[in-house]
Amino acid sequence: MTTTRRTILGATLATPLVLPGAARAQAWAPSRTVRIVVGFTPAGTTDIAARLLAEPLGRRLGQQVVVENRPGAGGNIGSQVVATADPDGHTLLMQTISGGAINYGLYGARMPIKPEDLAAVGLMIRVPNAIFVTPNLPARNIAELVALAKAQPGKLNLGSSGAGTSLHMTGELLKLEAGIDMTHVPFRGAGPMLQEAIAGRIEVAVDNLPSVIGHLREGRLRPLAVTTKERSPAMPDVPTTAEAGFPGVEATAWFGLQAPARTPRAAIQRYSDELNAILKEEAMQRRIADLGGMAPALTPDGGTSPDTFDAFIKSEIAKWGEVVRRSGARVE
């Protein structure tokens, strides 16, 4: 071997290869169990989304992925748990429209974290909210509900899974647009709220479609409208709020992954890549569609990325801050 060849070969061996972004992300892997924190009780849509993701994510990572429910304060407790966790790539948050956007306007200076305390990973699913009533309430559409509410101001109870959730704000929008008064009753999650609605102890409620769809299909609760621009393919007979005469009552709930700020970028990218891959699996697409969910659609291929999700969250904070201001909603 000539001196020149030895020099070149030695330099090549001594110089680390510069890998493209995707390859660098794949070089990072968790070394122990990964937890996905959920800021709401079990059986709600946030919990459903996290558990849908946990098994395939664990399979692809080669590590166990567990779901940890930390409910309270409209998702703020879960957000704070993750914001203060070690930024080592082993803690994720299943973030929602509530904790990720609405609460910043609703709680104001009392918000325990700032947006920059969390790093965006990727959007997982968008879902409609459903407005529904107990079957014994004589209202079969939004117009009849509005008439009942106007006839007895403040007497109808309006349930949600917590103050500051998109469900709470959907109810506030309906009250604002229809000029009616109903008493908001917040719960610590969708599970307890649905139990009370089925029992007839709250007459009206709003929930994300995935967690209530079984009760609606089986007649335990009566759907009046969904809050997206188009009808949900999962429940095509249920009209939209716009069709019911209230186009201003529009709210698409969303659920996505965040991590503590300062989590290594390679870890963030790995989780984003795996999320995109899982969302392309036919079994996952069927499950999401059956629940009435929609794809992230933040990137040209219909997927998501850390940067596009970060920009999306910022736009949602601005949008819902204005809704909170208009509605005058507050939390105690």
DSSP string covering 98-118: IIIIIHHHHHGGG-SS-GGGE
- Location of structure tokens 């809704």: 323
* Cα distance between residue 325 and residue 222, in whole Å: 31
3-class DSSP assignment, residue 57: helix
Which residues have CB under 8 Å from 108's CB, separation 6+?
A: none
The answer to pTM > 0.75 is yes
* Cα distance between residue 168 and residue 329, in whole Å: 9
How close are the terminal C-alpha atoms of the chain, in Å? 79
Phi, psi of 133 (to 5 degrees): -135, 165
* Cα distance between residue 187 and residue 196, in whole Å: 10
* Cα distance between residue 47 and residue 2, in whole Å: 64
Tens digit of pLDDT for each residue in 148-173?
999 999 999 999 988 878 899 999 99
Q: What is the pLDDT of residue 14?
A: 43
State how far the alpha carbon of 97 is from the alpha carbons of 163, 244, 254, 263, in Å. 12, 24, 6, 22
Tens digit of pLDDT for each residue in 18-54?
444 444 445 899 999 999 999 998 988 999 999 999 9
Instruction: Give 63: exposed, middle or buried? Use CB within 10 Å, 0-12, 13-18, 19+.
Output: middle
Instruction: Give 18: exposed, middle or buried? Use CB within 10 Å, 0-12, 13-18, 19+.
Output: exposed
Q: What is the pLDDT of residue 5?
A: 45
Q: What is the pLDDT of residue 189?
A: 84
Q: Which residues of the chain have pLDDT under 50?
A: 1-25
CA dihedral sign of residues 133, 138, 143, 148: negative
